[in-house]
Amino acid sequence: MSVLMVLQLLQRGVTQVGISMRLHARLRLWVGLAAVYLIFMGFVYLLQVPLRSNTLHSHYDLSAEGVRAKHHDIVKKEAEKYAQAALRVPNVNMDVVEQIRILTETFRKADTNGDGLLELTELSSWISSKIKEHLNLALKENFFMFTAIDLNPRNGMVSWEEYHRYFLKQHGYSDEYIETHKENHKGMPRELKETIMRDKASWSEAARDNPEQLTIDEFLAFRHPESSHATILGIVEETIGRLDLDENGVLNEEEFSDPDLNEVPDDLTEELFRLERLDEFRVADEDKNGKLERHELLRYIDPRNIHHAEKEAVSLFSAADSNQDAVLTLKEILAKKEVFMVSKMIDAARSFHDEF
């Protein structure tokens, strides 16, 4: 036998030994893991340790089993808190002292560089943050309010009767009144009657499938249309359907800015309206191809788009910057407090609801 053959046999033997050792190591590892698992399961069986929590459940479980779970009372209390806040009628007759306090406090928060002057970028940034804060709160509030109202039966739908009963209850009306009241609510304050009428109209717009009941998404469109993707999509389709004269599925500058196809505000001439709409078109036309497509219009209408905050800030500057120095002082803001108190700078919720 030659030396070469001996070396080859030795090399083959070493390789086989190495493979055998690796197999044995893997086998020992798997045996060890199996033993650990068996010991663990033995403890589980002997000590009755649950492998799944019996006390925690998703707050988004709207099924009958979910609402009967152990934390139902906690969810209900949270729902009550948000629902009561949502139904609270805003105090439009707030006294002057309170308005001044709110405006002063907000001015100081928005004045990020602390120089006592509010620049356009500071105001835009503040309004943008208030818009996002409102939209996020609206989503949370919608779930909790829906949960608080969807009780009889709890079927994942809220009927007008359920909502109306809850509305009356939250405004201090007794169970007896709720059960026996007449449809015209004789003796009820006019402000509340008007709120109910507005709610009924909004309900009809939000109900897509069943006019008497709303899903949780439809309920969002009812309470907070500015937060509802379905509402924004509806606005996009309505806008294109109304303005797309050549029916090619996109809007051009002429269609978008035509005063005859749009509602011109009383404080604008048709020419000024056209110029403003052309500016809006150029902002919305992201790829600058002279065509406004659905996805561009959707992003433009979305309240989270920064242009809404910038437009609001420019409007407030126009109303309050009396010396035209491109900054606002607290004195200038207080001189126009009635304008600022209903703006998104102070009350994004009310401002959005007036728009939608």
% of the chain at pLDDT higher than 70: 72
Pairing of strands 158-159, 213-214: antiparallel
Q: At residue 65, does pLDDT exceed 50?
A: no
SS3 171: coil
Extract the tokens encoding 142. 């919608």
Q: How far is CA 298 from the centre of its chain?
A: 15
**pLDDT higher than 80, residue 40:** no
pLDDT tens string 294-328: 999 999 999 999 999 999 999 999 999 999 999 99
Structure-block tokens of residue 313? 């800030």
Alpha-carbon span 219 to 231, nearest angstrom:
11
Helix axes 120-149, 216-223, angle to 10 degrees: 130
Scan for tokens 């109202």, then name that residue: 149
| Dihedral (CA of 22, 25, 29, 31) sign | positive
Averaged pLDDT of the chain: 80
The DSSP secondary structure of 264-317, one letter per residue, reads --TTS-HHHHHHHHHHHHHHH-TT-SS-B-HHHHHHHHSTTSHHHHHHHHHHHH
In this prediction, residue 228 carries a pLDDT of 87
Q: How confident is the model at residue 62 (pLDDT cuts 50, 70, 90)?
A: very low
Query: Has residue 58 got a pLDDT over 50?
Result: no
Give me the count of residues in the chain: 356
What pLDDT is recorded for position 53?
33
Better pLDDT: 262 or 27: 262
CB atoms within 10 A of CB 101: 12
Instruction: Summarize pLDDT for 254-300 with one digit per residue, the tens.
Output: 999 999 999 898 888 999 999 999 999 999 999 999 999 999 999 99
Q: How many Å apart are CA 307 and CA 102, to the nearest integer?
A: 25
DSSP letter at 251 equals: B
Q: Which residues pair with 328 in a beta bridge?
A: 118
Q: How far is CA 15 from CA 8, 10, 25, 28, 101, in A?
A: 11, 9, 15, 20, 85
What pLDDT does residue 106 have?
A: 97
Instruction: Convert the pLDDT of each residue in 145-157 to its tens digit.
Output: 999 999 888 899 9
Domain limits, the chain = 1-51, 73-250+293-355
The larger pLDDT score, comparing residue 15 to residue 250, is at 250
Angle between helices 160-170 and 72-87 (to 10 degrees): 80
Q: What is the pLDDT of residues 3-22, one digit of tens each?
A: 445 445 545 554 554 555 55
pTM of the model: 0.66
35: CB partners within 8 A, 6+ apart:
none
Lowest mean pLDDT among 75-79, 173-177, 240-244: 75-79
| HSE-up (13 A, CA, CB side) for residue 180 | 4
As a whole number of Å, the CA-based R_g of the chain is: 32
Q: What is the identity of the amino acid at 171? A: H
Average pLDDT of 94-99?
88
CA distance 150 to 140: 16
